[in-house]
Structure 1
Amino acid sequence: MISRREELERAFNNAWYHGAKWTLIFLPLIPLVMLVAALRRSLRPQNGFAALGAPVVVIGGLTAGGTGKTPTLIALARYLSGRGFRVGVVSRGYGRTTDDSSLLVSEEHTHDEVGDEPLLIKRSAPKAHVIVGKSRKNAAKSLIREFGAHVILSDDGLQHYELPRDFEVAIIDADRGLGNGWLLPVGPLREPRDRLSSVDFVLERNGSIESRALTYAPKRFISVKTQQTLTIEEGRALFAGASLVAATGLGQPAQFFAMLRHMGFEFTEVAVADHALLPLREIQASHNPEYIVVTAKDAVKMDKQACDNVWVIDVEAQLPEALMSSLEQLLDRVARN
């Protein structure tokens, strides 16, 4: 059964990216949205190293919805941790049911306590310290003071101007672009499109220009219940000829489905609202699949005991060398100072 939220998401996406015109009724709101965006940007503080004592790298986007921000942050956290840097991550913790106070995320937390994406970040990049809270600036200060963080990564933080920053990464979807080009709610833009000219690096998901392309590399399948791992080829053999459902609560589920099709899988699609919990019982009752494949973001929200036939596909973001080189230069400058 489709929820009201899912209906709204589909209706807005149809208008933003597929030509439906009904959101034009919100045109009178655009001047107000532009004013608020301009005021927020005018309050942008000094750079993070000067203000906090450690450089701040913001990963965000110009459009509402999923563009690969969290996988990108995870890849950066792993890379920097591997280079010996103490990495701190700040996030709002969308979807948490606890209060807005700052909370250090552990791998044992639940998605209700800290949000699905911060929990995924911690489990995927365990060397990084992750704090969720209403104030990203205060969270960053805590990471530097308590854990000696060398660098702060801000998840989906492009529009959170309270937090000083030294380097901004904006991610756009090369296939969907900026939609109809309008600001919210008429279109998908959180800020005017010229904001892209002021960021330090623009990543294009599935882009054709290698120096700024963000791509995904499927690595393995993992049983949600038992943590058994399969290579991609072993997964192909297991799922061959079986009734398969691919299910997700991503902001842009088409990306997930397209990847699986490109890998040669045949399946039934099930998509729920972004951040929503997958209704496994309904999926089992409606489709009676032999196997269900989900994303890592979905898996962190699941009761493992209810997942006998559920497998998560482990995917790694592949980032361009140009981005890594730019970050290395930033950190070298900071080290010299």
Structure 2
Amino acid sequence: MSSLVDRLWYGTRRPLWLLYPLAWLYRMVSESRRRKAWKVKDAPLPVPVIVVGNLTAGGTGKSPLTARLVGLLRGHGWQPVILSRGYGGRSDSYPLCVNETTSANLAGDEPVMLHLETGCPVVVDPQRKRGALWALEQRLGNILICDDGLQHYALPRDIELAVFDAARGIGNGAGIPVGPLREPLERLSGVDFVITNGGALEDLEHPAQFTMTLEPTELRNLKTGETAPLESLRGQPVFAVAGIGNPGRFFATLESLGAEVSGRAFADHHNFRASDLETPGGSRLVMTAKDAVKCRGIAGDNAWVLSVTAALPEAFAEAFLDRVRECQGLFPNHQSERT
């Protein structure tokens, strides 16, 4: 699926040009929804709200960035709460607060992963404003981070970050379904920060554009919790599986660590079965942290998880925290623990 998307959307050509009427309709509907949401814009929530999202369809690294923002905020005294739509989850009731035993089938893979990786409260609700209000009623924290909510205009927000995959960029520059753009590039004029994952993008013009890299940090056995040095992958046969937005990036990361990679790419949020995890010969099975939360009950002893962390320049951290402090002044009753 990913290679097909790459061919149709992320090249220089526009093979789906016959679908331009649908792309125009998609854009009109999107802009109409945004105008209506802003026209009836509710009062802001009583704490700062940060939204991480993207303009392009597919994986860009939003969740690792969200986890990094949690770390930054905690380091400066804030108590962040993550909001998520919970794509792929099937809970009977919302809001849902994720804990260590919550299944990905119930909450979605990304919320479970974010809670396990950060220890931060994660509230799942397709109606993210309802989830936000519930989180505040429960006193879970004093600042909210919405993972993948740039187009969810019902949620008031104070800071927006748009994330791009530098290798894919804006693709052919057309809107869905002709190209990958959920909204036109003019939308970037309203966001606070543009983050490009893996390098700079000359096609984008924004005064606060920063480069992010995803750095491998840990190799952990999914069954036992045992850790192994990343160097142990060098020269070793690895069978990799990835049900994420850009599986190629994960495979390339393993290759950069010296592994001899064969693998299988699945659609984003794929619901894994045991047969998907069968490895040829004695190969080590390696997967992403996002996929691992769905495979805890079906993976064998040879299953390992490669965790990554988002690395950003110090200039971004300073600019981001300065922007948060500006918002802090608007909410005097919700100060961070340290200033």
Query: With structure 1 as the length reference, what TM-score do the two structures score?
Result: 0.89
Counterpart residue type for residue 132 of structure 2 = A
Mapped to 2, the partners of 1:110 and 1:136 lie a distance apart of 20
Quick one: which of 300, 303, 327 aligns to 1:307?
A: 300
User: Which one of 240, 254, 257 corresponds to residue 251 of structure 2?
Assistant: 257
Pick the aligned partner of 1:226 from 212, 224, 227: 224
Which has the higher relative contact order, 1 or 2, with Cα contacts under 8 A spaced 6 or more apart?
Answer: 2
Q: Which residue of 2 is the match for residue 204 of structure 1?
A: 196
Q: Distance between the aligned counterparts of 1:86 and 1:336, measured in 2?
A: 16
1:211/1:185 CA distance change after superposition, 3 Å: closer
- 1:168 matches 2:166: no
Preserved CA contact (<8 Å) 1:49 1:166? no
Q: 1:305 to 1:157 in 2, by over 3 A?
A: closer
Q: For 1:141-220, list aligned pairs within 5 A.
A: 141-147=133-139, 149-208=141-200, 212-220=210-218
Give how far 1:112 is off.
0.4
Q: Greater CA deviation, 146-155 or 293-302? A: 146-155
Q: CA deviation at 1:20?
A: 6.0
Quick check: 1:219–1:231 contact (8 Å CA) kept in 2? no
Deviations 1:130-161 (A, max 9, x none): 11112111111111221252211001000000
RMSD (Å) for aligned C-alpha atoms = 2.3
> Structure 1 pair 100/305, CA: closer, same or farther in 2 (3 Å)?
closer
Deviation at 1:49, TM superposition (A): 11
Gaps of 5+ in 1: 1-5
Aligned to 1:142, the other structure's residue is in SS state helix
Paired with 1:154 and 1:305, the residues of 2 have a C-alpha distance of 30
Q: CA-to-partner distance for each residue in 1:265-301, whole Å, 9 max, x for gaps?
A: 111021111111344434426x234311111011111
The yes-or-no answer on 1:325 pairing with 2:328 is no
State the Cα deviation string for residues 229-265 of structure 1 (Å, max 9, x = none): 12223x23xx64x432111111101111111111211
Checking the alignment, whether the CA contact within 8 Å between 1:211 and 1:322 is kept in structure 2 is no
Contact 1:44/1:164 (<8 A) preserved: no
What percentage of aligned pairs have identical amino acids? 37
Aligned CA distance change for structure 1 residues 305 and 198 (closer, same or farther; 3 Å)? closer
Residue 86 (str. 1) matches residue 84 (str. 2):
no
CA distance in 2, matches of 1:302, 1:64: 25
Is the 1:211–1:321 Cα contact (8 Å) retained in structure 2?
no
Which residue in the other structure is 1:334 paired with? 327
2:56 is the counterpart of 1:58: no
Using the alignment, how far apart are the partners of 1:320 and 1:102 within structure 2?
A: 35
Tell me if the contact between 1:244 and 1:289 (Cα under 8 Å) persists in the aligned partners.
no
Find out whether 1:267 has 2:265 as its counterpart: no
Separation in structure 2 between the aligned mates of residue 200 and residue 140 of structure 1, nearest angstrom: 21
Amino acid at match of 1:35: M
Tell me the equivalent position of 1:3. none
- For normalisation by structure 2, the TM-score amounts to 0.88
Residue type at the aligned position of 1:307: G
1:59 deviation in Å?
0.3
Partners of 1:66 and 1:149 in 2: how far apart? 28
Distance 1:211 1:186 in 2: 26
Q: How many correspondences in the alignment?
A: 323
Question: Which segment is superposed worse, 65-74 or 80-89?
Answer: 80-89
The offset of 1:201, in angstroms, is 0.4
Cα gap change, 1:179/1:94 in structure 2, threshold over 3 Å: closer, same or farther? Answer: same
CA distance, structure 2, for counterparts of residue 219 and residue 307 of structure 1: 22
Provide the residue aligned with 2:334 in structure 1.
none
1:112 alignment counterpart? 105
Alpha-carbon offset, residue 305 of structure 1:
5.8
CA distance in 2, matches of 1:103, 1:258: 35
2:35 aligned with 1:37:
no
2:93 maps to 1:121 = no
TM-superposed deviation, 1:174: 1.4
Question: Displacement of 1:225 after TM fit?
Answer: 0.4
Q: Is the 8 A contact 1:295 1:314 kept in 2?
A: yes
